[in-house]
Each structure stands twice: as structure tokens, then as C-alpha cells.
Amino acid sequence: MAAQALHFLSPSVPSPSLPALSSGKPSMLPYASVFRSRPRSFSLRASSSLRDLGLTPSDGGAASIDVDAVTEAELRENGFRSTRRTKLVCTIGPATCSAEQIEALAVGGMNVARVNMCHGTREWHRQVIRQVRRLNEEKGFAVAVMVDTEGSEIHMGDLDGDASVKAEDGEIWTFSVRAFDAALPERTIAVNYDGFAEDVSVGDELLVDGGMVRFEVIEKIGPDVKCQCNDPGLLLPRANLTFRRNGRLVQERNAMLPTISSKDWLDIDSAISEGVDFIAVSFVKSADVINHLKSYIAARCPDNEIAVIAKIESFDSLKKLEEIIHASDGTMIARGDMGSQIPLEEVPSAQQKIVKLCRQLNKPVIVASQLLESMIEYPTPTRAEVADVTEAVKQRADALMLSGESAMGQYPEKALTVLRNVSLRIEKWWREEKIHEEIDLPDISSSFCGKVSEEICNSAATIDGKQYKLQGVTTPSYSEATLQYLAKEQFAESVKPLITITKSQLANTPAKSLVTACHTFSCKGVEMDLDKLQVIHHWPLSNSVKELCGFLGLTATAAFQTLKLALTSALVLYLPDFNAAFTIECDTSSEAILSQHGHPISYFSKANNLGVDALFIFTRTGEMASLLSRCRPDCPVFAFTPSASVRRRLNLQWGLIPFRLSFSDDMENNLNRTFSLLKARGMVQPGDLIIALSDTLQTIQVIDVP
């Protein structure tokens, strides 16, 4: 098993030109291990007592790892595969603001609590944030807090304390910019934009909350605008207002409004002082706004990293989509307001595009607005809403968000249950049907360490996927190389460190480099040999490929194309002769060796022969955990971090189960200690196969724990 595991975890960067390096422990490169939990003792050095692990015998080690009771119970009762991968965001409002209600949402699966600064007072939101923090401290949850700014768009005012007001078909309503000292007159709505009456024209269509209620402007009287309701519906406090003229969105008034208003800056200051985890920026027009806010946050709280979420909900944000996503720490697809700015039929394709782009750029993405809108009033969703949720889960969005359903709906817990159950069922169906998505994940790291991290995470995540990995091997004559020879006759009982390399060693020896058949990695960057790439692309079909096509269950042409594609990106320690034929040796154990002139070039293996149960990542910053989430592995990812804030932020990302755990640079001790803690609480069972990675060490290891 150890030998098989090595093929998957070999990152596609080492080369034959890299000599043996020191086995010391200099600066920081990633680490990976594979091990199987069994009832007998570990082959790794085990600590002699709980005190050696930094624990007291009385607590059994259980108190040294933080995980909420719900996750612990799910793992103990149903195992790894039962865990939900899609995360859930709930907006906290009047219907869910008490400590008991917030805890009920957390127990029901809420990963992130959102507070919407469009509604309520700053002090009210501050109390909600503290309720969530208190819940985390007392119950061990890792519920993150997201503050959503109001933005400078046109909004309705409050409705004299009413949670909602119904507008009926044909009714005449007044939208006014006047300041009312007393109660609002009947069917009158205050508007926050002084130029509203000047900008609208008779005949314009006024859309409330992205079109949930529609009016036609019939008369203007000074600061008042008389409108007739054409599409009845529920009016909510602080709802967004947009208007169309001759079927086109009127945008001129937006150009003069700042993305972040003076009120927003006060709300942001309050959020920073409360130490929230995310700040969502409404109606983002460009990356400059995101960069400015991130600089402001860094200056105000250099020791408290707050992630900035860009809300994609306007025509302007769609025009500059990629640059905004690049600059942000995550994205929210606010489909309600988006649907008022672009044609409704374009919203689904825009959602799919944004989800895919966020995935490629490694930014968490939230699908929001009207997922279960009917559950504001009714206990059961429409079938169309369930289908909508299903599509978002199938697109592998990181998170789904409830807005009015949880903030002021009559059935917030039922709505959350629907999201959770639909997510679980679709994810289970995805695995049962062995559906594997085809998505190109481009390199996103510019540093050498970053590239190694990406390769490790990509390899680890594909072990359970329907993919084929082509990995490099060497012959014993290449004893100076840092990869072991893995011909079938020489599989070792235990596997030594696979790669040991440091940034300083690479930087101090510019002549040394890591190569694949077509790429060279060095301290200067990455270079591609286009000539070799073309040669491999035009290789003639070899007779020996018949063995490969039977091995893969593909046609000869498809099998050969698969092999050539893999060879152009996988590591090799013996460069092929591009003018000579090659041979392939296959057997029934899902293994194949590609050779030329008697030299093994690469090891070719079918994936999914390990049956990995979970991925363990020890991370201080959360970066490698995020890379693993980006790959969307079939098995869950346990993210262990000593930082409470990192743990909460990771709770937004797909497939990550964050634990708070202190650990050292001694990976052997970390593994032993983690196993002891998890086994003591029933979260790891004998026979579970785990891949372990770390972003704090400089070695990559494959270990089969007996």
C-alpha cells in the first residue's frame, strides 16, 4: 500500500538533475503522508505517555482538540463519507437573533452567520456577533461571522418597525425623499437617495428587491414619486431599488455614488473592532475598492486577518469580474439584485461562470438570494427551489446562503434543514454515480514553494478521483536522486522521505533545476520546451499501446492521448528518447511502467485504488487547506490549525472540517498525537486510510502505518 500511495503523492516537479540534498530541516515547504489507522501500534515512534503528548491523563487527550459536538457525533456515528461538503450561511435577523435560536442554527448545520447592515442598528448587530462568539467559546463551534455592508445603492427606508408590508396589484404608493418626524403616512415609503425624484421619469419601471415587487412611475410631485403596483409582493425594510426606462436599466445615478458609503465605513470600523471573520462589500464596481478596503483593514488591525468578500450583483461587477475576484478573498453571487441589472435568463449562466472562475482562482464562492424564498411564509419549499439548490450543489459552490428565509421567515430551522438535506443527498448521489467533473485548474502560485504546495494538493486530492496519474521513477543507478525506485519487484516495506528540498538550497545553486519532460522549474521560474511538447504531441501510435488501452479500458487512440498528456506534465527522472519507441509493462494490480532502452521513465497507475477515507492537513495559515478544497476531493478534509480565526475562516470552504489543535514542527509527534485524540473520541476508526499533509515542513513523505 505504501508503494502505491507514493505514485499519487509525487508532485510533478522533481527531476534527474537534482542531486541528493541535506536531510536537515531548513525553511518551509509542504509535507505529505499516507497512513492507515489500525488497532496495533504505529510504526512511527510513539510517545510513552499522555504527558509526553502535552496532555494530562485525566482528560484522555480529548480536551486538546476543538471540534463542535455536531461534527463529532456525525463522524462517530456515520463515518467520514457522511460529512457534508457544501457549507451553509444563515442571515441572522429578528427571527433568529436569540442565543437559543443561533445555537439551533449551529446545530442544524450553519457554518457562517451573516449580519446584514441594511437592517437594524449597529448595536443590535454587535450583540448578535457577541452571541455567536459566546456560542463558539461555550459549545466548541467554529461559526464564522460575516458583516455585509449596505453599499451606496438606492434603498427603501424602514417600514415603521414592520417586518414586511404587502403591496397589492393596482395600489398607489408614494416613494419620498422627505424626512418624516412622525409615523409614515399610509402606503408611503422613504428613500435614502436625495436625487431619487429628479432621476426617475414618468413611465419608468421601479423594481423593489431585484424585481420581487414592481411599480410604474405615474406622477412626480416635488420630493414625492407616485407609483402604481403592477406586480404585487412583500416589501421588506431597506430593500434595494432600481428602475428601468424603455426596458433598459438606468445606471447614470450609480456612477456618482461611492461603493463604500460613509455609513459603511462606520459599520466596517465596528466590524473590525468586533473581530469578525468576513466583510462583504456590496455593489463592487472594480478591484480598487477591494484593495483599498484590504489596506484599510490591515492598517487598523494588522494582527487580525479579516477576509473581504466581493458581492457580484451589478452590471459593473460583471464587466470587471476576473479582476474583482482576483483582488478579493471570496465572492458572493447576489442573484436577486443581479437579476434586476441583467436579463433574468442570463442569471444562471452568470452564476455558473462565476462559480467556475472562483474555483480556478481558489476563491470561495457563495450562491445567495432566493434559494428558498417561499419558505419565508411556507414550511415547504417549491420543487423549483429544490432544483435550484441542487444545481448550485452540483456546480460545487463552496456555500449556499439563506437571506430572508432565516432572518425574518417563519421557518428558519426548516429552511436550513432543507439546504442541508439537499446538499447531502446530491453529494452522496455524485459519489454513488461516480461522477467526476472535468475542470481545468490553472497554476495560481508564482513562488516555488507555492507550486510545490499546489502539486501536493492536486495529487492528494485525485487519489479518490477517476483520474490517471503518471509519476516518475528511477533505477537504482540513479542513487543520487531523491525519488525511490518503485519497480514492482522492489516495493519497499516502508517508504523513506520522498523529497527533501529547501528554498535556500535552490536559490544558492541556480544551475540546479527540476524538470519534467517538457518543463524546467528553477529559481528563475518555469520554462516550457515547446519543441519537446510538439514531439510528444506528434508521437506515432506504438504497438505497445495495445497493452495500455486494455489496462485503461479505452480505445488505443484515447489511451495513447491520455498517456501523452500525462507525460507532458508528470515528473521523469530519465528523459525519453523522442525518436525511439517505448514499451509498457502492465499487470492486473492497476500498475504500468513506461520504459525505453531498458530504463523506466514513468510509473502509470489508475487512481482510486487506495480508497482514502480522509485528508488531514496541518496548517497555520490555511493556505494548503484552501488548495485542497479547490480540488474538490471525494473524501473530506480535516484541517488542523492552532488559530481560532483561521479555523473559522476555513469553515466557509467546501469540504473542510476545521479543528483547532496546537502542533509542532515534529510531524511524527503530530500524527501520533492527533490519532490518539481522534481515536479517543471515536472520530477515527481502525482501518481508516488517511493522507496527511502539512504546510509547515520542508519534506514530503509517504508513510504506511501498520
Phi/psi class of residue 522: alpha, beta or left (left: φ > 0; alpha: ψ in -120 to 50)? beta
SS (H, E, C) 282-305: CCCCCHHHHHHHHHHHHHHCCCCC
**Does a structural domain hold residue 158?**
no
DSSP bridge pairs for 310: 281, 331
Q: Domain check: are 238 and 262 in the same one?
A: no
* 354, 322 Cβ separation under 8 angstroms: no
- Asked if pLDDT for residue 495 goes beyond 60, the answer is no
Q: Domain check: are 135 and 238 in the same one?
A: no
Per-residue model confidence as pLDDT tens digits over 202-223: 999 999 987 889 999 999 999 9
Per-residue model confidence as pLDDT tens digits over 71-127: 888 888 888 878 999 999 999 999 999 999 999 999 999 999 999 998 889 999 999
pLDDT of residue 472: 35
Lowest mean pLDDT among 147-161, 255-269, 468-482, 545-559: 468-482
In the chain, how long is the greatest CA-to-CA distance? 92
pLDDT of residue 193: 84
Helix residue ranges, H only, 462-607: 503-508, 530-537, 545-552, 556-567
Average pLDDT of the chain is 76
**Domain extent for 35:** 31-82+611-700
Report the first-to-last Cα separation within the chain, whole angstroms: 10
Q: For 138, phi and psi rounded to 5 degrees? A: -85, -30
**If you average pLDDT over residues 304-333, what whole number do you get?**
94
Number of other CB atoms surrounding residue 353 within 10 Å: 14
DSSP bridge pairs for 693: 32, 617
User: What CATH number is attached to the domain comprising 374?
Assistant: 3.20.20.60
pLDDT of residue 203: 94
The domain boundary residue, chosen from 578, 606, 634: 606
CA 37 to chain CA centroid, nearest Å? 28
pLDDT of residue 451: 66
DSSP bridge pairs for 604: 470, 592
Q: Domain check: are 348 and 414 in the same one?
A: yes
**Does a structural domain hold residue 174?**
yes
**If you average pLDDT over residues 142-168, what whole number do you get?**
88
How far is residue 670's CA from residue 25's CA, in Å, rounded to a whole number? Answer: 16
Strand duo 689-694 + 614-618: pairing: parallel
How far is residue 182's CA from residue 385's CA, in Å, rounded to a whole number? Answer: 40
Amino acid of residue 220? K
The domain boundary residue, chosen from 394, 415, 432: 432
* 310, 328 Cβ separation under 8 angstroms: yes
Per-residue model confidence as pLDDT tens digits over 9-67: 222 332 222 222 222 332 334 445 555 443 322 222 222 222 332 323 333 343 478 88
**Does a structural domain hold residue 705?**
no
- Asked if pLDDT for residue 564 goes beyond 90, the answer is no
How far is residue 206's CA from residue 625's CA, in Å, rounded to a whole number? Answer: 45
Pick from 275, 277, 187: which is nearest to 228 by CA? 187
- Asked if pLDDT for residue 340 goes beyond 90, the answer is no
Q: What is the CA radius of gyration of the chain?
A: 28
Q: Domain check: are 444 and 418 in the same one?
A: no
Pick from 411, 422, 197, 236: which is nearest to 336 by CA? 236
pLDDT of residue 549: 62
The domain boundary residue, chosen from 228, 255, 282: 255
Number of domains in the chain: 4
Q: Domain check: are 215 and 350 in the same one?
A: no
